[in-house]
Structure 1
């Protein structure tokens, strides 16, 4: 396996688990991940939001952690990256208004590079005009919006070529496994170490 350089697009009130878990999991298996945010510099942070499901008609949102930004989105060249991660939360609804975000996303689709999007992340893909004739999923509440961008919506984690989508952070195990497969990442499952009695 060759390690990949992966870009993760972040912004204030990105969903806490959806930004942190992929970042850490991808680094854990040897990939290099850069969290990039428009109008923020390396060393800045974004505020995260925790979306929890407690039996209400929609998720409950609470304040999450501060998450560090590695690079300013305006200062990167997407050609330097092998893959893209687009987490959800509230951030996608305004991140999609930045030209730098749209142009970056379009690069990954034009070059047929691996892309993983979760929850509200497909709102950015819809705004970038890259969903035509694709089969994807998203948070169910944005289904009509992404279908309006020309895709077929499927209930469950979906892999369509190099695009992997999931509905929310409970999909992490299957969503990340599919993305690792697209990346060509082989994880060595060593035998568990027995604890001393």
Structure 2
């Protein structure tokens, strides 16, 4: 069975980006995928403290909930990450998770010495985001950050759902276009991952 991890990166448990992610989760489950939902605000995770113990072992030295989330990420076939935009990038909760994955970067590129240009992509990732403004470059910073976060997890940024002009809680309910796009992104991710598994078998 296809395993997908859905990461809620908003500081609001039931905000607009969460509503979009729930649609994506529903779409993936419609296609029979097993989806585990992770609400980052419910986990105790310190920011990266640059202890650099990971240089020796490839594992983070901080003892908190990060290994629980990492285990789920590494067990997944696909990742759906949702975060609102704050100052042209992802939320603090999301960025903490990303920064803690620096230990994976160290393991992958320093310890195992994998080739930057030829690292394998064993997963696919979807990024869902919402921003209050309508600027052309609203999502540029977040997309670059997410791309390289997915890279360290051997995931390609396969699809995005980016919704502009949504800010106050509940405003997403009026955006049927974004809600439908999110549902289809989750559904299509499950379909393509199932097809890849069949080919691999």
**TM interval, short-chain normalised:** 0.3 to 0.5
TM-score, length of structure 1 as denominator length:
0.48
Between Structure 1 and Structure 2, the one with more helix by share is 2
Higher relative contact order (CA 8 A, sep 6+): 2
TM-score, length of structure 2 as denominator length:
0.47
